[in-house]
Amino acid sequence: MDKRFSDIIQLIQQSRNSAIKAVNVQLINLYWNVGSYIKDKPAVAGWGDKTVEELATFVQKNNPELKGFNRRGLYRIIQFYETYAPSKLIISTEQQTLSNDNSKIVSSVRTQFEPKNIRNTILVQLSWTHHRTIFSRCKMEEEREFYIRLCIRENYSVRELDRQISASLFERTMIGNSKLSPEAKAIHIDIASTFKDSYVLEFLNV
């Protein structure tokens, strides 16, 4: 590469990485609020068991360009919310209701849904694929938090995260009270490869 232009390339890459990370923050925050809305709605509006299927059909029929909101995707979003809603990862971190009154969703039964802001929590520092791997494979809250913080600190790819879970790193660390291996600390992955998964691209309709 011509050294005269290397600084320009670096600026471009940094901006792209920042944009990808910002989109991921919005995506995780959106999934949290969609999960919260669907989970809490039946208690106040009488939504039935088929609501998720009906919602998925509605989205696909009226907004086919919106990806990730089919039946399976919606249930994963609900699982994400159910997994972390009672977690200290949310409770112990600043979680503000969006202040804009226009963000309130008023339903036909005159109930209001106020979206929450989890953009200041550590949950937004991982991609959706990372989260899917963690909440689908880790059963204990301590284990989930362990891998979340490990991924953030070591910048793990999804493949490396999956490998560490399969190798029972959490159990071995707890039992042996050992530190991470030098090999783990030596791993460095560009942020674009960490956040640029298919869910971010689908969210942007790319």
Report, in this order, helix, strand and coil percent for the chain, each rounded to 5.
Answer: 65, 5, 30
Indicate whether 148 pLDDT > 90. Answer: yes
16, 192 contact by CB (below 8 A): yes
Which is more confident, 35 or 106?
A: 35
- CB atoms under 10 Å from CB of 66, counted, come to 14
Indicate whether 202 pLDDT > 80. Answer: no
3-class secondary structure, 146: helix
Q: Distance between CA 18 and CA 37 in Å, rounded?
A: 29
Kindly state the average pLDDT of the residues 97-109: 47
Instruction: Break the chain into its structural domains and give their ranges.
Output: 3-203
Q: Distance between CA 154 and CA 96 in Å, rounded?
A: 28
pLDDT band at 206 (very low <50, low <70, confident <90, very high): low
pLDDT of residue 139: 92
Which is more confident, 178 or 137?
A: 137
Give the model confidence (pLDDT) of 24-50 as tens digits.
999 999 999 999 988 877 655 566 668
113, 105 contact by CB (below 8 A): yes
Residue with tokens 């929590």: 121
Strands 105-106 and 96-97, how do they pair? unpaired
Residue with tokens 């299927």: 53
Which is more confident, 87 or 47?
A: 87
pLDDT of residue 43: 56
pTM: 0.76
pLDDT band at 87 (very low <50, low <70, confident <90, very high): confident
Among 34-38, 106-110, 199-203, which stretch is predicted with the lowest mean pLDDT? 106-110
pLDDT of residue 205: 67
Report, in angstroms and rounded to the nearest whole number, the Rg of the chain calculated over CA atoms. 19
Our CA dihedral for 142, 145, 151, 154, rounded to 10 degrees, sits at -70
pLDDT of residue 93: 43
Q: Distance between CA 180 and CA 127 in Å, rounded?
A: 22
